[in-house]
Structure 1
Amino acid sequence: MARPNALLNMWQKLSGLPAGKWLFSRLVCFKAPYFASIRPRFDVLQAGRAQVSIKKRRKVQNHIGTVHAIAMCNMAELAAGTMTDVTIPPSHRWIPKGMTVEYVKKAETSLRAIATLDTPADWGSGINLPVQVEVLDTNDQIVLLATVTMWVSAKKA
């Protein structure tokens, strides 16, 4: 029997509780502290889809008052990574291999990143898995498009 995914299990336990999504988001940032600077909030986490939002605030703004590029890349990588973690089989592991981004327009509001992927029929012993991420503003306008390539491989015995 496959071992349940610990991250997905924690999300399922916490997300329905008052302040549960906030707590889950803080716990993820405790485990991966470099994401704490953007203060992400998880809104959705399931196999094949994740949604993370951030508030526009001074610490994520650049000199022209828009959300800076690295903050958007951080949220894209966070959404892609957590979604990959809860999607892949328990027999596999993942690591980000690369990311391409396209800055579509100025990010002048709070943002949400939506990561999706088409689940492969065969995970094999090692594959490049492209995760698509759209970062949208509060008007549902795309401000950034990213493809985060994950290297997914079988765990060593």
Structure 2
Amino acid sequence: MSAPLLTLYRRMQRWPAGQWLFSRAVCFKAPYFASIAPRITVLEPGRCEGHIAHRRRVTNHIGTVHAIALCNLAELTAGLMVDASLPKGMRWIPKGMEVKYLAKATGTQHAVATPAQAIASAEAGYALPVNVQVRDTAGTVVFEARIDMWVSPVKRG
């Protein structure tokens, strides 16, 4: 059985404007991410892809996509990937993020989040590192993040 988030994503992909609707639904649930107007383009166990357009709301004083907008995109894609990948009865929370700004970010930014190790069910909590790479429209890697997620069983009772 797939995660409820993944089921919703797959159902909405059949609709006209399904990616847009799904992305808006995610931002309704987690309103802060609406500030970057993300579009989730791929969601499957072990992988999430999304992008943000280069628009004024994500631009800094030198005309590039702001570092924090890139962090938000990384955290969003990493969280969705983990949520879509977890076995039933497990939950997650981000515990830390290490980022590298590698080049000026201009144009549409495309993020890909993948786990650095296998995602499994467990009796106790465990650390799950997630790698996120962001490329610009030319294919240049402009940003990398390693986000540490804490995965644990859902508390009962």
Give the residue type in structure 2 aligned to 1:42.
I
Does structure 1 residue 127 correspond to structure 2 residue 122?
A: no
Distance 2:120 2:9 in 1: 25
Task: Return the offset for 1:8.
Answer: 0.6
Task: Give the equivalent residue in structure 1 for 2:112.
Answer: 114
Task: Give the equivalent residue in structure 2 for 1:71.
Answer: 69
Task: Return the offset for 1:120.
Answer: 4.0
Q: Any idea what the Cα deviations from partners look like across 1:27-62, whole Å, max 9, x if unmatched?
A: 000000000010000100010000010100011000
State the TM-score, normalizing by the size of structure 2.
Answer: 0.95
State the TM-score, normalizing by the size of structure 1.
Answer: 0.95
Structure 2 spans left out of the alignment, 5+ residues = none
Distance 1:34 1:122 in 2: 29
Percent identity, aligned pairs only, is 52
SS in 1 for 2:155: coil
Distance 2:15 2:121 in 1: 35
Structure 1 spans left out of the alignment, 5+ residues = none
Task: Give the equivalent residue in structure 2 for 1:103.
Answer: 101
Distance 1:123 1:131 in 2: 18
Deviates more, 1:10-19 or 1:96-105: 10-19
Task: Return the offset for 1:151.
Answer: 0.3
Select which of 49, 57, 72 maps to 1:59: 57
Does structure 1 residue 48 correspond to structure 2 residue 46?
A: yes
